[in-house]
Amino acid sequence: MDFRQAIEYLYGLNQFGIKLGLENMQRLIGRLPELQSLPPLVHVAGTNGKGSVSAFLTEILRHSGLRVGLYTSPHLHCFTERIRIDGQPISTDDAANLVGQLRHASRGIPLTFFEMTTAIALLAFFQQRVDFAVIETGMGGRLDATNIVNPRLALITPISFDHQQHLGAGLVAIAAEKAGIIKSGVPVVIGRQQPEVEKFLLDTAGRLDAPVCMADRDYHWSGRRTSLTLSVGEELLTSPEPVLPGEHQRDNFAQAAAAGLLLRNQGMPVNASAIRAAAATVNWPGRLEWWRGGRRILLDAAHNAAGASCLATYLRQQGLDRVRLVCGLSGERSPAEVFAPLCQMTAELFAVPVAAADTVPPGQIRCWGLSQGISSRAFDSAEEGLVAALAGAGVDAPVVVAGSIYLVATVRSALQAGCPDLLFVKAENG
């Protein structure tokens, strides 16, 4: 089986849809006990920021001299980005080989795409003998395929509304699913939460006798512009500003740093210099990413209201209050719920479809924009929408691409390919 065949097989598993539950993974482990012989690991759940926190923590551990595996989802451009070892995606040959092994081992088990991908990651980390692994949940936590692991530490990033059709309609219901990764006696680092969510998580950890390190109670950050001061318990350290922009990334970095120091208390070789180095070397594209080119294009995978709020805060801090917004959503998301935080700073809206996903119709997004008094148009592709946004903007006018990560991936791919229509559109105003 080559990589193309492996990918075709994997995406064919989408016929089983999204199926929350651990039965399939438990059956697979019964056939592949090595999936239980895993390295020490951290398990990360939450709604927003879990990918960034995972990336920060991976860098901290890597700079501590450890060989680190990282499993996240989804990917931007290539499937192998989901499974990284020492910061690099596994090779396509390794991915194909692992798919072949697991296809054979899972005969008769109707694994979903995400279940198979999770098994691939865990088997890769076992076979590659990583020293430590960071595992991000897919959607929830309690019934997520990743919840077969036994972590040294659990992390829960901010919880907000998303995937309500699978996780529940209220914040506490969503939190109950995310809190499913908290294990008896296993420490948990909790990021900033809404009051009702914070109470629920603390109560859950208390019932399980899981020690808690809580944002703004047990760890803090302060500082602006060039450096941060982090305090975790009685420990104080300074760090350069993380290279990922946005105030929320300071929160993410602080949570990862707190996790690193707790792991040090468990005997892992984490030190302050590794934490400082991670702030400077982390790479997590598609999140408040200014594209390096002749035009000002900001890419951000803000696909829920909390993410859009972070984007709006960043735009205000940058003094950008009248932007051209190219946007698209996948799944059953509501444009009114997701993009409401961006209303006041959107001069024009360019609604586009999301490729390779169940897309919210661009016409629906356009109608919402018009209802808010925003000049809005709908397009048949992301590229067409971006060309139109660039063509009508001044040379220095920012164009923001926001929404589904699949939309960001499409635009990044076009920009990476050097598409002349996107890179060299003449501006009407300059």
Q: Which residues pair with 299 in a beta bridge?
A: 289, 401
**Total-model pTM:** 0.92
Distance separating alpha carbons of residues 122 and 203, to the nearest angstrom: 31
Looking at residue 394, its pLDDT comes to 75
Q: How far is CA 109 from the centre of its chain?
A: 28
- Give start-end residues of each CATH 3.90.190.20 domain in the chain: 289-423
| CATH topology classification for 3-281 | UDP-N-acetylmuramoyl-L-alanine:D-glutamate ligase (3.40.1190)
Name residue, tokens 């492996």.
6
Structure confidence by residue, pLDDT tens digits, 14-63? 765 566 789 999 999 999 988 888 999 999 999 889 999 999 999 999 99
Distance separating alpha carbons of residues 395 and 321, to the nearest angstrom: 17
- Give start-end residues of each CATH 3.40.1190.10 domain in the chain: 3-281
Looking at residue 427, its pLDDT comes to 32
Distance separating alpha carbons of residues 163 and 329, to the nearest angstrom: 13
Structure confidence by residue, pLDDT tens digits, 255-308? 999 999 999 999 999 999 999 999 999 999 999 999 987 678 999 999 898 899
Q: Which segments of 99-171 are extended strands (E)?
A: 132-136, 153-156
Structure confidence by residue, pLDDT tens digits, 303-353? 898 899 999 999 999 999 899 999 999 888 899 999 999 999 999 999 999
Question: Which two tokens mark 386?
Answer: 């971006």
Distance separating alpha carbons of residues 148 and 37, to the nearest angstrom: 12
Structure confidence by residue, pLDDT tens digits, 177-231? 999 999 999 999 999 999 999 999 999 999 999 999 999 999 988 886 667 788 8
Contact predicate 44/106, CB 8 Å? no
Class of domain 289-423: alpha beta
User: What is the average pLDDT across 98-111?
Assistant: 95
